[in-house]
Homo-oligomer: A and B are copies of this chain.
Amino acid sequence: MERPELPLAQLHAFVVLAEELHFGHAAARLGIAQPPLSQQIRRLEDKVGHALFTREPGRVALTAAGRELLPAARRALTDLADGLAAARAVGSGRAGRLRIGFAASLALTVLPGLLRAFRERLPDVRLDIREMTTAPQIAALRDKTIDVGLLREPPAGDTAGDTAYGPELCFRTVLTEPFVAVLPSAHPLAAPRTVRLARLADEPFVLLPRTAGPRLHDQIIGLCEAAGFTPRIAQRAVEWQTVCALVETGLGVSLAPASIRRIRLKGVAFRTVEPNARTRVAVGWRKDDRSPLVAQLLATVSGDPGSAR
Q: Enumerate chain A interface residues (CB-CB to B < 8 A).
A: 1-9, 11-12, 15-16, 30, 48-52, 54, 63-69, 71-84, 86-92, 96-97, 290-291
Contacts and interface: CB of A to CB of B under 8 A. Distances in A.
Contacts of A78: 1
B81 A68 contact: no
A65 B50 contact: no
B79 A75 contact: yes
Contacts of A82: 72
Given A15-B1, A76-B80, A87-B65, A92 B8 contact: no
Contacts of A90: 50, 64-65, 67-68
A5 B1 contact: no
Contact of A9 (B3, B64, B68, B91): B3
A61 to B, nearest CB: 11
| Chain A contact surface mostly | helix
Contacts of A63: 91
A174 to B, nearest CB: 25
A290 to B, nearest CB: 8
Contacts of A69: 83-84, 86-87
A147 B83 CA distance: 42
B73 A76 contact: no
Contacts of A77: 1, 4, 76
B8 A84 contact: no
A12 B5 CA distance: 10
B79 A49 contact: no
Residue from A51, A63, A65, A78 having most chain B Cβ neighbours under 10 A: A65
Given A87-B50, A88-B49, A88-B50, A4 B81 contact: yes
8 contacts: A50-B91, A52-B87, A64-B96, A65-B88, A69-B83, A72-B82, A72-B84, A75-B83
A69 B96 CA distance: 13
B9 A8 contact: no
A5 B230 CA distance: 71
Contacts of A50: 87-88, 90-92
Given A3-B9, A12-B3, A291-B64, A83 B91 contact: no
A286 to B, nearest CB: 12
B68 A83 contact: yes
A66 to B, nearest CB: 7
